[in-house]
Amino acid sequence: MKLLLHVCCGPCSLYPANVLHEEGISFSAYFYNPNIHPYKEFKKRIHALELVAKLLRFDLILDRNYGLTDYLRKVVFNENKRCHICYELRLSKCIEFAANNGFDAFSTTLLYSKYQNHKLIYDICFQLTDKFGIEFFYKDFREGWQKGIDQSKDLDIYRQRYCGCIFSEHEAFDKNFRKKMKLQTPGNY
């Protein structure tokens, strides 16, 4: 199987890449993340990912186009659906690239994060397989969450504090916002 793995950043790539190597699965990593804000953050994530690809010896395909404008055009006035829109945007581009470049299957490091909506990602990926005719390689990478964190710290790989979008940046750094959200949805935030 020739796998295209959508990657969002260096730290989230470590554990999935190690697992794929251990299982003998040939893969190339594909970076397409127009949601990442600000531009300096976008560049830091690319740099960290390049370091990880070099250390773990995997092929890396980078879309260096800073697509924030296109991303924002899709999510503005749809903020409550922003994650769904973002997942679909990024994964559609990945599977389209896979279909056009001879890959047999695709997957994503979004399945590594405990903070992403795993079921929604899973559902979107299966819907995309019907549309593009490329197999979705499903693996629940969350079991290695702490291993990936520990490895990124050991390797001194840049680790971000938020998903990437302007909305998640706000949520991560605005203490008043987090307090307000906790009050509105006790036990769910």
Let me know if residue 79 belongs to a domain: yes
Which residue, among 23, 99, 111, 97, has the nearest Cα to 60 in the 3D structure? Answer: 97
Let me know if residue 45 belongs to a domain: yes
pLDDT of residue 187: 45
- The whole-number average pLDDT for the span 136-157 is 97
**Mean pLDDT for the chain overall:** 91
pLDDT of residue 165: 78
- The whole-number average pLDDT for the span 63-70 is 95
Let me know if residue 35 belongs to a domain: yes
Let me know if residue 33 belongs to a domain: yes
Which run of H or of E encompasses 142?
A: none
Let me know if residue 92 belongs to a domain: yes
Let me know if residue 17 belongs to a domain: yes
pLDDT of residue 184: 54
pLDDT of residue 168: 77
Backbone angles phi, psi at 101, to 5 degrees: -130, 25
pLDDT of residue 130: 87
pLDDT of residue 145: 96
pLDDT value at 28 more than 70: yes
Please state, in angstroms and rounded to a whole number, the distance separating the CA atoms of residues 120 and 83: 9
pLDDT of residue 85: 96
Let me know if residue 119 belongs to a domain: yes
Residue 129: which domain range? Answer: 2-184
Q: Where are the beta strands (DSSP E) in 24-179?
A: 26-31, 59-62, 105-108, 135-136
Which run of H or of E encompasses 175?
A: helix 175-184
Lowest pLDDT segment from 8-12, 104-108, 127-131:
127-131
For the entire predicted model, the pTM comes to: 0.90
List of residues 6+ apart from 90 with CB closer than 8 A: 6, 8, 32, 33, 34, 35, 108
pLDDT value at 189 more than 50: no
CATH number, residue 161: 3.40.50.620
Number of domains in the chain: 1
Let me know if residue 189 belongs to a domain: no
- The whole-number average pLDDT for the span 153-170 is 85
User: Burial level of 112, CB count in 10 A (0-12/13-18/19+)?
Assistant: buried
Backbone angles phi, psi at 61, to 5 degrees: -110, 115
